[in-house]
Chain A
Amino acid sequence: MDAEPGQFIMVWIPGIDEVPMSLSYIGEKIAITVEKVGEATEAMHDMIEGDRIGVRGPYGNGFKIFGEKALFVAGGTGIAPLMPLIRKYEGEKLAVIGARTKDLLIFKDELEKITKLYISTDDGSHGYKGFATDLAEKIFEKEEFDIVYTCGPEIMMKKVLDLCLENGIKMQASLERYMKCGVGICDSCAINGYHVCKDGPVFDDSILAKIDDFGKWKRNEAGKKVRI
């Protein structure tokens, strides 16, 4: 499978569901990193070596490499789609990863080796006590960089966007919406005329600034707008 950092696949667990998952490893080893949140992801966690899943994709537009110094801001499993990008990015790399608690910090060891890493936990069990965006704000004060790449809870990404717009720094974010077809026809993952599955999941600051629903509204399975 030939894929770009930031692209996703649709993972079929027969008899259960098919869900979108970003690729966390691209190349010889292809992998996804799954957080258990419901039926499908629990079924994946229960799998053992040799169990099979169905896969279609890769789909969507990934991250575009830009500049010579980048800041990566990730919340929770949001670090997964950023990993192939961080491995590929050749310039100077700073990363902030945030999680609710210490045990949920993933890719920490690898990131310590390949980036200048900052860590936050909501409960203070490791690193800075608070949100990843608070840490990012501090880094904005003392460092300069060409671009910020982010993925995580949408409220967090919205804060990162605002911070970047204020400071005139380019940014790209990977969004999540309820996906059904995954190929841009059912309109389920639509956000202000863009399909997260086909036009995204990665959008840059120029588009995000125009997407009114970003950070505010998403749609449920029936297409009804609900608060984020």
Chain B
Amino acid sequence: MLEVEVAGIKMRNPVMLASGICDLTKESMEKFSSAGAIVTKSVGIEKRAGYKNPVFCETECGILNAIGLSNPGVDEYIKEINEIKIENLIASIFGKDESEFYKVAKKISPYVKAIEMNMSCPHAKKVGMEYPSDEINSAVENVKKTGKPVFVKLGMENILRRAENAIEGGADAIVAINSVKAMKICIDFAEPILGNKIGGYSGKGIKPIGVRCVYEISQNFDLPVIGVGGIMNAEDVIEYMMAGANAVQIGSLIYYEEKPFAKICKNLEEWLDKNGYSSINDIVGIALKK
């Protein structure tokens, strides 16, 4: 009932773990045995320590983070995942140009089912959302040479234009959205809280933005879309899928609920049953037609 296929990858359910949440280390990822797929922490060519603390703070309708793409670098990371017991592991990668993207993708591709190109981190300048739109095309083309399906992860800014570039480069799916560029100031100190001052907003508050992005991409292009942003329960998954998502990813929810996957899947099945659907694929994009 919940089986889906995205760019040739068969998943027993459409609920994936989003990049950057409990997915830096092998055993942490292995603990999410009920997820349809796991996306790794974004990995680059060289190690990055990330930004200074505080890298996290809570806010009214979600959380802010500015981890800063900390990762041990692709060579070290391969040692982390080469014996991992996960059926659908997807590598999230970032780079400052097409050659860096290609190098990382080539090294990591033998160990994963697909590559997710992170071109949307809201606080990482050129290795993030400032990756030039007109260079997305060739970067994707390069990563496609690995032979693995390529997902391109975008943020809310300028999303249709950037999606179009990704599709021209041969993207197999679009992942939308990354966290939203944001900040919080501590009024007692009159100072931004995050070490990097600016970070990414995720969780409940960004769901309407994510749903809109997925809806618009689905309306304009014909390729699989993976919806991310503020999913807190099965109803949110259904909303994203009705907007056109073929699968979804969950990030911030892990902060509130350590192991949400099995429960969400059970609730999805119940909802589908109650509403007369035999497969979750039957609800994909149904809100687009209205």
Q: Which residues of A are at the interface with B, using a C-beta cutoff of 8 A?
A: 10, 12, 14-15, 17-19, 52, 54, 56, 180-188, 190, 192-193, 195, 198, 219-224
Contacts and interface: CB of A to CB of B under 8 A. Distances in A.
A19 B53 CA distance: 7
A190 B57 CA distance: 19
Contacts, number: 101
Interface string B171-190: 00000000000000010110
A189 B185 CA distance: 26
Contacts of B260: none
Given A10-B54, A19-B53, A180-B53, A188 B70 contact: yes
Contacts of A54: 186, 188-189, 193
Contact of A17 (B30, B49, B53, B193): B53
B72 A223 contact: yes
A183 B56 CA distance: 9
Contacts of A12: 53-54, 193
Contacts of A224: 47, 72-73, 76
Contact of B49 (A52, A187, A190, A222): A222
A185 B203 CA distance: 13
Given A12-B193, A222-B48, 16 more contacts: A14-B191, A52-B189, A54-B186, A181-B56, A181-B65, A181-B67, A183-B255, A184-B254, A186-B55, A187-B23, A187-B41, A188-B24, A190-B27, A223-B24, A223-B25, A223-B70
Interface in B32-70: 41, 47-50, 52-58, 65, 67, 70
B25 A187 contact: yes
Question: What DSSP secondary structure best describes chain B's contact surface?
Answer: loop
B92 interface: no
Contact of A222 (B50, B186, B195): B50
B31 interface: yes
A180 B50 contact: yes
7 contacts: A17-B52, A187-B25, A188-B70, A190-B24, A198-B258, A223-B25, A224-B73
A98 to B, nearest CB: 30
A103 to B, nearest CB: 30
A198 B252 CA distance: 15
A223 B53 CA distance: 15
Interface centre among A54, A222, A224 (most CB of B within 10 A): A222
A107 B21 CA distance: 39
A98 B263 CA distance: 48
Given A12-B193, A185-B21, A221 B56 contact: no
Contacts of A17: 52-53, 195
B112 to A, nearest CB: 17
A184 B191 CA distance: 25
Interface in B238-261: 252, 254-255, 258
A190 B41 contact: no
